Structure 1
């Protein structure tokens, strides 16, 4: 073999290695409440494969999770006693989770999230009708909750606006969102005037997301399976309702839902039981999950008006409480509370259609999904 050939081969190998290292490492984390573990996976986006990594003990009934803005920490709330949130350091090279500490929570929390500065963790308690604010220190560890706010009935989710100036929470029992001005330096929340905005009657507002450009808020009704779009005013923080689109086909055989604890004993009427909502990074599609029929519904989103148009539903894992979309917008991972596997779906960019391409085993009562990608720099 002459020197020229050897040089060419070396250059080719270097290019191959460089290309491989430049590809993003993508990790998936799923909380399994009944096992008390967080299952982790690698998502090979080139081959469209989910590969199990580890099972990390959480120490209790682990359910809602949230990522830090820099994606180097994962937070998981335990809904049994003692009520607490566990902080994990996330290794960008391996996806491994290292437990760093715990912070006390005042109640069982249905949802947690981190503000854009990464300094504050919000939590919403369905059973205790309250919201809480916890500090996050310089190491990325959540401390004990420092502030507790009474709110309307059955609080379900709390998130900051993308600019970090305001915060909102759903009250499923009162058909409203409460709205606050948020001070990221102190963690203080000040009610806006008005202090709440209504959702359509008897819809049970549950989870909500901001559009990718931050101009709109999409709120999912647990009882209606419909999504209401609100315009977000970045100056005042006020939300203005623009319209509602249903994600439940007329032939579904489902009637309007109600809070599970309010359903009479022995009543097995098929009711709408919507759960989660996410949008693709390009903002073109919004998806919701419905647990009774085990389906994901897709909407097309108008980037100018925020208007949603229902497209189709797709059969997925049994009782899909949680799902998420990877940062590339090409894949969706769905967890079913009554399923032994999580499902991997490819998203067709133009149509938003879902195609099931794989699966991986998970634990019992899988419910929350977080997905994070790192490039070769660990960013």
Structure 2
């Protein structure tokens, strides 16, 4: 108890000091390294895109998916080795360093974690356990016990709430289904619809998805068939309809099979990027903001087996890691064309697989 009280005092002092700074702007990049069981922390130079190492945080387990709280003050990291746990960290906005606050059980090995729009609940999806789950998050920002589990078809891969926080959507890779579940933000309860919100062709393997910034479209990448789907999103009733399906594979693809991974949009919604692990490439697309449709503009070699990447909140930089690579690649995004220009490479841990980028601009710290 005494230790917890001291820790709370330290965290409070950190945030108190941050709040007293009239003008403060800093961006940080976090990389989870599954095999070395740690998190790499970098400070981002907003002018040049260069990264400076801040610290490496040991977590004592196979750390993979991570998620920030809506206010960016807390980072949640899921351990996919037994005992399955979520580690809650306070983030120091002055230097990006992490302070561990606590650990709580997860229902299974989780391939994805996210917070709801209120920051009161942690949602997770289990690829091996074929389920979705909800953990409570306390007022102190620390994730607590599991509140609910929902069985799915095989290989649930991601769960995220809709922009209005009324529903959660989840990709179930082995069922070729994109599920819709009513979400009660007062209790954290999920209630699954009888039918999927969107059913995909057999052996598509739906994986990650992103809502467009204007909430009019959803972009859903498949893991198994090399496809990317554009869905028109009706925010009034949280339903979708397909409008385009395109390839994520580079020209001349010669691998045994596609292996799609991640998808992200720039904050202005003008450009979209995907990672394809068999070819170890990033694909870049121009977004028609009126129709939501995509046009491929380039393919870029990147780190080997790029499971995860992300874009900074300014939309200027993209950071990619590979599970079979010891480095992170940093790119500048051309605001007009969407082209990627490599800026440099930085050492990370073993089995790097997840990237989160956060910005403290003085308004949310």
Q: What TM-score does the superposition give when structure 2 sets the normalisation length? A: 0.91
Q: Which secondary structure state, in structure 2, belongs to the residue aligned with residue 296 of structure 1? A: strand
Q: Which secondary structure state, in structure 2, belongs to the residue aligned with residue 101 of structure 1? A: strand
- Once the two structures are superposed, the pairs formed by residues 201-216 of structure 1 within 5 Å of their partners are 201-216=202-217
Is the CA contact (8 Å cut-off) linking 1:226 and 1:246 kept in structure 2? yes
- Unpaired runs of at least 5, structure 1: 1-19, 255-269
| Structure 1 match to 2:226 | 225
Distance between the aligned counterparts of 1:317 and 1:44, measured in 2? Answer: 21
Matched, 1:274 2:260: yes
- Unpaired runs of at least 5, structure 2: 1-20
Is the CA contact (8 Å cut-off) linking 2:157 and 2:207 kept in structure 1? yes
After superposition, the CA RMSD in angstroms is 1.5
Matched, 1:346 2:336: no
Shift of 1:22: 4.7
- Once the two structures are superposed, the pairs formed by residues 1-379 of structure 1 within 5 Å of their partners are 22=23, 24-192=25-193, 194-254=195-255, 270-376=256-362, 379=365
Is the CA contact (8 Å cut-off) linking 1:134 and 1:143 kept in structure 2? yes
Is the CA contact (8 Å cut-off) linking 2:72 and 2:364 kept in structure 1? no
Is the CA contact (8 Å cut-off) linking 1:93 and 1:378 kept in structure 2? no
Distance between the aligned counterparts of 1:374 and 1:96, measured in 2? Answer: 13
Distance between the aligned counterparts of 2:114 and 2:204, measured in 1? Answer: 23
Is the CA contact (8 Å cut-off) linking 2:176 and 2:203 kept in structure 1? yes
Is the CA contact (8 Å cut-off) linking 1:245 and 1:310 kept in structure 2? no
Runs of 4+ aligned residues of structure 1 deviating over 4 Å after TM superposition are: 20-23
Shift of 1:47: 2.4
Q: Which secondary structure state, in structure 1, belongs to the residue aligned with residue 134 of structure 2? A: strand
Deviations 1:41-93 (A, max 9, x none): 00102122111110111120000000110011000000001111000000000
Shift of 1:141: 0.7
Distance between the aligned counterparts of 2:327 and 2:361, measured in 1? Answer: 28
Q: Which secondary structure state, in structure 2, belongs to the residue aligned with residue 202 of structure 1? A: coil
Shift of 1:287: 0.6
Shift of 1:368: 0.3
Shift of 1:106: 1.2
Shift of 1:21: 8.0
Q: Which secondary structure state, in structure 1, belongs to the residue aligned with residue 262 of structure 2? A: strand
Shift of 1:274: 1.2
Shift of 1:193: 5.2
Distance between the aligned counterparts of 2:273 and 2:25, measured in 1? Answer: 24
Q: What TM-score does the superposition give when structure 1 sets the normalisation length? A: 0.88
Deviations 1:12-60 (A, max 9, x none): xxxxxxxx98562010000000111000000102122111110111120
Deviations 1:164-205 (A, max 9, x none): 111110011111111011111111112235344212332210
Distance between the aligned counterparts of 1:23 and 1:328, measured in 2? Answer: 15
Q: Which secondary structure state, in structure 1, belongs to the residue aligned with residue 292 of structure 2? A: coil
Distance between the aligned counterparts of 2:226 and 2:81, measured in 1? Answer: 28
Distance between the aligned counterparts of 2:147 and 2:335, measured in 1? Answer: 43
User: In terms of mean alpha carbon deviation, does 32-41 or 302-311 score higher?
Assistant: 302-311
